[in-house]
Chain A
Amino acid sequence: MAHPSQLGFQDAASPVMEELLHFHDHTLMIVFLISTLVLYIIMAMVTTKLTNKFILDSQEIEIIWTLLPALILILIALPSLRILYLMDEVNDPHLTVKALGHQWYWSYEYTDYNNFGFDSYMVPTQDLTPGQFRLLDVDHRMVIPTESPVRVLITADDVLHSWAVPSLGIKMDAVPGRLNQTAFIVSRPGIYYGQCSEICGANHSFMPIVVEAIPLKHFENWSTLMLENSSP
């Protein structure tokens, strides 16, 4: 999760997010160099004593300031498009989970092998136990196995919502009447937090998402337990 006054990204927990972080570093360096160049040009212009009232054009500099931005854009666009297509790949997922947005909670359905599902409500502030995070923790987390491709089908029951987990590099709109798909692989066990990212009413800020990634063997135990609890 994010720490107080954090400005940068959270640590990556999936390969796609790692790639996004590297792309961000690359773009930030380009932005830094452009900013430095502009700052230097401003300083040079402000401090010079030279003036030329009769300059009309200059082919050389116009060629430079046409080609250079084009080159910079290509340098940014190529890795960007690569990651865009990488994010669209869905490589034979081991598990499919359905996430439904409601006002104002999420529900998750695991229907691959046995049918079970549960609702995920935010833990109210007055009910927090020591160690839980305010406005982030939920009563039932979405549990998935680590290092397994997981597909999430996202939709909504009423109004627009958005299912987002920053450390996994995922954000997908939950649209009523539409099924959106996203896939990810969690690299390491842990608990990853996100929040609803599309305005959906009074409690839009109070329907967080918590993904718990655990080793496959523990996931099998958990799903067996959930099935036993849900069966009459």
Chain B
Amino acid sequence: SRSKEESEKEEGFKLLGILDVQRIPCARNAILHGAGGSLTTGMLYFLATSRVRRSFDVGFAGFMLTTLGSWFYCRINNAKLRVQQRFIQEGIKNKIVYEGSVLDPINKPKAENPSGPS
């Protein structure tokens, strides 16, 4: 258990001491996209204007916007996925419980009784 605790401590990494990018869904992707966006916008602005200080400001603004955009996009998709997951779980449970009955979600048709002689 000690080695497990030690490995957990080694794996945990928190940006600014608060954001656990490895455990929070979408956090790692958002930060990486932000870093990429920041580099891109900063470099492009510098190549266009040769203003160093302002390029850093533009790069930072790019970081904020890209991180936010990537974060919200990923979280919305994640939320939709979780809703689907819950529906599927309910469906599987209902299938097992109600299979063959009137409430069967698949609604298997029953074999018709043979009609009597006309």
Interface on A for B, CB 8 Å cutoff? 3-4, 8, 22, 25-26, 28-29, 31-33, 35-37, 39-40, 44, 48
Contacts and interface: CB of A to CB of B under 8 A. Distances in A.
A188 to B, nearest CB: 12
B27 interface: yes
B16 A25 contact: no
B30 A29 contact: yes
Contacts, number: 38
B5 A35 contact: no
What does DSSP make chain A's interface, helix, strand, loop or mixed? helix
Contact of B27 (A8, A29, A44): A29
25 contacts: A3-B5, A4-B5, A8-B20, A8-B23, A22-B75, A25-B25, A25-B27, A26-B75, A28-B19, A28-B24, A29-B19, A29-B24, A29-B30, A31-B18, A32-B15, A32-B16, A32-B19, A33-B64, A33-B68, A35-B18, A36-B64, A39-B16, A40-B60, A44-B56, A44-B57
A35 B27 contact: no
Among B15, B57, B71, residue most surrounded by chain A Cβ atoms (within 10 Å): B71
B55 interface: no
A147 to B, nearest CB: 8
Interface of B: 5, 15-16, 18-20, 23-25, 27, 30, 53, 56-57, 60, 63-64, 67-68, 71, 75, 79
B18 A28 contact: yes
Given A4-B5, A32-B15, A36-B63, 17 more contacts: A3-B5, A8-B20, A22-B79, A28-B19, A29-B24, A29-B27, A29-B30, A32-B19, A33-B64, A33-B67, A35-B16, A35-B18, A37-B60, A37-B64, A40-B60, A44-B57, A48-B53
Nearest to B93: A147
Contacts of B67: 33
B57 to A, nearest CB: 7
Contacts of B30: 29
Contacts of A35: 16, 18
Contacts of B24: 25, 28-29
Contacts of A32: 15-16, 18-19
A95 B76 CA distance: 34
A36 B19 CA distance: 11
A193 B61 CA distance: 44
Contacts of A8: 20, 23
Contacts of B79: 22
Contacts of B20: 8
Nearest to A40: B60
Among A4, A22, A32, A33, residue most surrounded by chain B Cβ atoms (within 10 Å): A32
Contacts of B53: 48
Given A26-B75, A29-B71, A44-B57, A36 B25 contact: no
A44 B67 CA distance: 21
A162 to B, nearest CB: 27
B94 to A, nearest CB: 13
